[in-house]
Structure 1
């Protein structure tokens, strides 16, 4: 009986893992897809994907959209996210900090974290520029492509970093390969300096700034970033870093702090 129960529990756990894989895949693709397309692209059995998609549809986690049986993330996820944000003071504090940074510098300000083994922008405030120069909120980006990535993995050993980051993520948007050892050297320099800045790898005309936001144990839990036109970023480097450091001091130790009742 115990063996049967363990087996059933294992199947349920694998089903949950697969359901989250489907949700993450749709989030990364940013488009509605048919269940058979999802199954093919995540390498899962079609029967399992159809069963899980139907379950998620019944619970409002997925919704039909775009016709021909395509599905995408459902509005129930919005309500769940809103409930999460309502429970934490930190989200409100983060929004206020980003607004102040964008006002002080006129540049795009971002709050960034790791999502699994990828980098993502969690919150963003656009700067006063007439054109967008930033990554979309929630978009997964390879860690080596980002200034923040050097800080977000700095608590790991070199060996753990190379195990954590998929080898293909060292292939840059240009098609060139970033030497992992050069990346590790930059990680250690960022750890010593408590910041990292560079000319963006993703495009050719921006300069990126990142400073750490630490948790209660002093570990880097997130980063605050500025994305600026390259010439302006270089000309205002010290002022922008001062603004970022001051803002990060106000946010550090704040993540995961629930509102007091």
Structure 2
């Protein structure tokens, strides 16, 4: 017979998981929603969602957006995010690196990481040209679609990679299917070279560059990325590559030794 004291703990755990799921759902929707819309969108019990939305709103984690009951992410999450940025070395140290990359190349630079078994842009510094390229921060994207995916998975075995990535994620935006062994071969090549670049699979006019940032064990913790119009990317390929890989090496060293950015990335 189950001990009575274990039941409340499991109930609280389920409630906590659903509360975070509500926050994540609103983040992905990028617009306020009524509790009933949240429940339907999450396929979750309406009574539970209404109760949690009320609690999260009372705590300031969610805020009411209008008189029709819609709610969205609250300012408290913004404050938590600022605390995270101030105390997490990677993002704190990455910002000046992104500014440096954009200053030298004029292109959009990004810090990218794994988000579960997908890829997400964590930070971005927009290019300073008239034609600007940007991406949605936090949006999860299938790893096979990205240059960063070739680097973030370099520490895994072939079997681990195939088990990690959902089969559906090998279907590319144009409906074609990326052959799995070709993807693994590109991972091995990128990992050995410490760099990867290809034409963006999400559009027809940009090229993506990615360089690895390693943790103390030599695992690719994140990537520094650069997105440029194809014509500029091809004309300045080597310079872009050198700036990006130099910045990634400097960020790796900064994480390891606690250094400050001094603008010493290679040209």
TM-score strictly above 0.5: yes
- Residue in 2 that maps onto 1:161: 161
Output the CA distance in 2 between the equivalents of 1:246 and 1:128.
20
Of 44-53 and 212-221, the range deviating more from structure 2: 44-53
Output the CA distance in 2 between the equivalents of 1:110 and 1:53.
33
Q: In structure 2, do the counterparts of structure 1 residues 20 and 174 end up closer, same or farther at CA, with 3 Å as the change threshold?
A: same
CA contact (8 A) 1:215 1:253 kept: no
Question: What is the aligned residue count?
Answer: 259
The residue correspondences of 1:93-112 to structure 2 (distance < 5 A) are 93-112=93-112
- 3-state SS in 1 of match to 2:207: strand
- 3-state SS in 1 of match to 2:134: coil
- Residue in 2 that maps onto 1:119: 119
Q: In structure 2, do the counterparts of structure 1 residues 101 and 58 end up closer, same or farther at CA, with 3 Å as the change threshold?
A: same
Output the CA distance in 2 between the equivalents of 1:101 and 1:2.
58
Output the CA distance in 2 between the equivalents of 1:162 and 1:33.
36
- 3-state SS in 2 of match to 1:249: helix
- Residue in 1 that maps onto 2:130: 130
Q: CA deviation at 1:168?
A: 2.2
Q: CA deviation at 1:258?
A: 9.2
- Backbone CA RMSD of aligned residues: 2.2
1:159-196 per-position Cα deviation (integer Å, ceiling 9, x unaligned): 22222222222222222222233222211221121111
Q: Which blocks of at least 5 consecutive residues in structure 1 are unaligned?
A: none
Q: CA deviation at 1:67?
A: 4.2
Q: CA deviation at 1:200?
A: 0.3
The residue correspondences of 1:4-23 to structure 2 (distance < 5 A) are 4-23=4-23
- Residue in 2 that maps onto 1:221: 221
1:188-225 per-position Cα deviation (integer Å, ceiling 9, x unaligned): 22112111110000000111000000111111000001
- 3-state SS in 2 of match to 1:127: coil
- Residue in 2 that maps onto 1:206: 206
Q: Which blocks of at least 5 consecutive residues in structure 2 are unaligned?
A: 260-267
The residue correspondences of 1:15-54 to structure 2 (distance < 5 A) are 15-54=15-54
1:69 matches 2:48: no
1:247 matches 2:247: yes
Output the CA distance in 2 between the equivalents of 1:119 and 1:194.
18
- 3-state SS in 1 of match to 2:221: strand
CA contact (8 A) 2:127 2:133 kept: no
- 3-state SS in 2 of match to 1:222: strand
Q: In structure 2, do the counterparts of structure 1 residues 173 and 67 end up closer, same or farther at CA, with 3 Å as the change threshold?
A: farther
CA contact (8 A) 2:216 2:256 kept: no
Q: In structure 2, do the counterparts of structure 1 residues 90 and 157 end up closer, same or farther at CA, with 3 Å as the change threshold?
A: closer
Q: CA deviation at 1:93?
A: 2.4
TM-score by length of 1: 0.91
Of 134-143 and 100-109, the range deviating more from structure 2: 134-143
Output the CA distance in 1 between the equivalents of 2:71 and 2:14.
21
